[in-house]
Amino acid sequence: MNYHSSEPAVAGHLVAVPYPGRGHINPVLNTCKLLVSNSDDILITVVLTEEWLDLLSSEPKTDRIQFMSIPNVVASERVRGADISGFVKAVWTKMKDPFERLLDGLQPPATLIMADTFLFWAVSIANSRNIPVVSFWPMSAAMFSDAQHQHILFQKSGHSPVIMSGKEDAPAIFSSEQLKIMSKCNF
């Protein structure tokens, strides 16, 4: 993108970072398209893994939404289901540093970060750089309510509605370690 005086000035640079999954990326992209359709002076950078950048290469582009990638530090979309716990752990622990390095090189610098709610580390990055951050929840209100109240359900019954306990052939969606981490987070 060229930022010469003949083009409209960029009043803000939103950096959007979705969780690396189709049900998270598509809502973020749709929101970004709506934002640029209502404002002529914002630039949006959507940050994806290299794999997701390739998967979205045929996505229609606008001159005010650009795509940038971080290395594939998480398992491939094609095989992540074989070890979903490992995938989630990698998202929570391995995406932060490459994202931070990408932010260092952005021009113009980010003026707002819109991060998927499940990317807990994005808030600390934004806060450390004095960049406002918004949490993007791409799922239904019912899922948000469930996430907001899971700690209460777990405390009262010792069970979580997303755990398939007692079924050897059905994997749990979240491990007990992940539930402990989630119980400490305020969504």
134 and 180 belong to one structural domain = no
* 91 and 126 housed in the same domain: yes
Q: How many domains are contained in the chain? A: 2
How much is the pLDDT for 1? 46
Query: Are 163 and 131 in a shared domain?
Result: no
- The amino acid that residue 70 corresponds to is I
Span 120-145, average pLDDT: 89
Give the CATH number, domain containing residue 55.
Answer: 3.40.50.2000
Please give the residue range of the domain that contains residue 181.
141-187
Q: In terms of pLDDT, which residue wins out, 1 or 111?
A: 111
Same domain, 90 and 62: yes
Chain position carrying tokens 């750089």 = 129
3-state secondary structure the chain: CCCCCCCCCCCEEEEEECCCCHHHHHHHHHHHHHHHHCCCCEEEEEEEEHHHHHHCCCCCCECCEEEEEECCCCCCCCCHHHHHHHHHHHHHHHCHHHHHHHHHHCCCCCCEEEEECCCCHHHHHHHHCCCCEEEECCCCHHHHHHHHHHHHHHHHHCCCCCCCCCCCCCCCCCCHHHHHHHHCCCC
146 and 134 share a domain? no
The verdict on 25 and 38 lying in the same domain is: yes
172 pLDDT exceeds 60? no
Task: State whether 88 and 156 are in the same domain.
Answer: no
**What's the whole-number average pLDDT of the chain?**
80
Give yes or no: residues 82 and 161 share one domain: no
pLDDT mean over 108-120 = 93
For residue 168, pLDDT over 80 is answered with no
Q: Are residues 91 and 165 in the same domain?
A: no
Lowest mean pLDDT among 36-50, 81-95, 104-118: 81-95
- Tell whether 6 is covered by a domain: no
Confidence of residue 58 (pLDDT cuts 50, 70, 90): confident
Q: pLDDT band for position 159 (50/70/90)?
A: low
List the structure tokens of 152: 């209460």
